[in-house]
Chain A
Amino acid sequence: MATLSIDKITKAFGSVMVIPELSLTVPDGEFCVLVGPSGCGKSTLLRIIAGLEPVNSGRILVDGVDMSDAEPPERGVAMVFQSYALYPHMDVGRNIGFGLEIARTPSAEIAERVRRAADKLRLSSYLRRRPRELSGGQRQRVAIGRAITRKPKLFLLDEPLSNLDAALRVGMRIEIARLKAELASTMIYVTHDQVEAMTLADRIVVMDGGRIEQVGTPLELYHRPANLFVAGFIGSPAMNFLKGRVATVQDKQATVRLVLGPTLDIPVSKPLEPGDEVILGIRPEHVLLSAEEHPDVHVVKAGVVELLGSDTFIHVRDGEENLVIRDSSGRVARAGDRIAISLPTSACHLFDKTGHRISENAPTRWEPIPAKARIN
């Protein structure tokens, strides 16, 4: 239970600057996910927070106290490592209680806390086993158990699910979500998997090249990506980017002519000149398929069609422009079909040449499920 403040830290490995200058505050009790492509510095940032990696400049504060030079236990962190890092020569119980043992906790209390953690993680019958006798999922739970017995102020998880197979990963994801509700400690979770980020996070920090690209709730990132990087990173399949040029600007409303053909009117927040190059983003699930041809729709030829059962992905290629359409209606298309599409302006994101968001609208379709539809 603690507020973490990262104040203008920089980090370099030799002459390679991995984190130029970064500040971030994670409020008490928040589940914060650091996400980004590999090499974006997210793991380094986590290790800096843990106290495993010294910073070149800047400060790390926990509850307002400068912890920049403190060892991990002084910071009150516990960590789940990507490879679990279980001690192979200790049994499960000792692995879980080792941190307490080092802290000279009375053995009765260690036993009690190990027992409680093991109960919570369904490990009680494995306490005498060695890590190599456990399955991947069990090892993962031991690693988590080791972290929670410490009652950490900061609970750090470094890609904890990446070594599990797909089926186990879903189960563990739900387990971590449950843990988050029970522990109510400040959690920082690193992943490259945006599904984990979206499902677990209170707030997501998207990183690239050692910089924070955007901080926000999952739905903010989904609906109002601040730039092309975030727009492309969040969402699967990734957002379509279509080249276009501003035709006219009137009353903070830009008329954009896409290379692909259609012309759209989109509200903008930044001044634009006719002739400016812009990029229009639209998520595959927001592209609508129309039954018939009329002036508002645009006809394209379907390329590769992927049938997933629940969804159909239609890939369209027109010159340099690529477009993916996700259709969940259950209709089936074939490669070569002529299909009519429309791009609803409320779901369109507009970015300038430098990649920054310039469209005004926030197409948040976030509304409560009506009471009648809820299952009690």
Chain B
Amino acid sequence: MTPLARSRLRSTVIHLVLFIVLGFWMMPQVYMLSIGLRTPAQAFDAALFTWPVTFDNFATVIRDNPLGGIFLNSLIVTVATVAIVVAVASLFAFACAILRLKGSLFLYTTLLTTLMVPLASMVLPLAILLRNFGWVNTYIGLILPYAALGVPFAMVILKSFLEDAPRELFEAARVDGCNAWQTYWHVALPLVRPALVFVTIWQFIVTWNEFFLALIVLTKAEMKTLTIVPMQYSGLYMANPGALFAVLTLIALPLILLYVLVQRAFVRGLLAGAVKG
């Protein structure tokens, strides 16, 4: 065999194996969709696929449930959290990496310990704190704790990007007459755009899917977010898996679609230096 033919064969085999592994990997999602598409008669069949398919379940659950409102709750909490995290973390990273304020390194190290704190040990005190603030069942009661937990990670990424940027650029901005805010806005933020995109997407995913704190803070039905409603549907549709899995599919879908749309930018940010060995 010529080297070219050999490498082509190897490539085909590798692709084949990857597709087979992916087939197994995607089974839970395929199964979810497949149950959602079943008629009541097939709902309990022990099979990955059944025939025929029906969209009745989707029509039913969309008609019967306030999914739009729940989706909106998730969106409000997530977008607000992401905005706060990106703004606060980039300001802080700028203070550390560019302004090099006295004491900022100490603050930075202190904030970093947040990353070592498991959420499990924070839910009890946060729940009490939010109760004292009267923030149970409010958006802000989720947004601010999420932001506090998210800022350290974003700040690490942004700081490392800012430190990699040529220092002369920030000096040039000073010579051009920029004050600290103008330098932050006109020079620092555009320079770290890939990192901002990365941080935004990652924070969006984490916030959208957060479960533990949401479970404790949101008890009123009209405040609930998408991640905590599946439980109640599993009770509601116990005898109707088709409807349950249609709802689950609808709940999982927005973030999956969003990720597929932005994954290029996300991976680009990651490759641009979020991880460097």
- Which residue numbers of A lie inside 8 Å of B, CB to CB? 47, 50-52, 71-73, 77-79, 81-83, 85-90, 98-99, 102-103, 146, 150
Contacts and interface: CB of A to CB of B under 8 A. Distances in A.
13 contacts: A47-B171, A50-B171, A72-B174, A77-B175, A79-B172, A81-B168, A83-B168, A85-B166, A85-B168, A89-B190, A99-B175, A99-B176, A102-B177
A103 B173 CA distance: 12
Given A88-B191, A102-B182, A73 B168 contact: no
B169 interface: yes
Contacts of B177: 71-73, 99, 102-103
A189 to B, nearest CB: 16
A78 B182 contact: no
B171 A73 contact: no
Main secondary structure of the interface of A (DSSP, over half): loop
A151 to B, nearest CB: 13
A329 to B, nearest CB: 47
Contact of B171 (A85, A86, A88, A99): A85
Nearest to A158: B168
Contacts of B191: 88-89
Given A98-B186, A102-B182, A87 B175 contact: no
A359 to B, nearest CB: 43
Given A71-B174, A87-B173, A102-B186, 9 more contacts: A50-B175, A72-B177, A81-B171, A85-B169, A88-B191, A89-B193, A90-B190, A98-B186, A102-B177
SS class of chain B's interface: helix, strand, loop or mixed?
helix
Contacts, number: 58
B119 to A, nearest CB: 37
B187 interface: yes
A317 B190 CA distance: 59
Given A85-B171, A87-B187, A89-B191, A73 B166 contact: no
A82 B191 CA distance: 19
Closest 8 CB pairs of A and B: A73-B177, A85-B168, A99-B176, A85-B172, A89-B190, A102-B177, A72-B175, A81-B168
Contacts of B174: 51-52, 71-72
Nearest to A88: B191
Contacts of A82: 168
Contacts of A52: 171, 174-175
B127 interface: no
Of B166, B175, B187, B190, chain A has the most CB atoms within 10 Å of the CB of B175
A66 to B, nearest CB: 19
A369 B209 CA distance: 84
B65 to A, nearest CB: 45
Interface in B178-194: 178, 182, 186-187, 190-191, 193
A81 B182 CA distance: 20
Contacts of A88: 191
Contacts of B168: 81-83, 85
A86 B168 CA distance: 9
Given A87-B187, A89-B190, A89-B191, A78 B169 contact: no
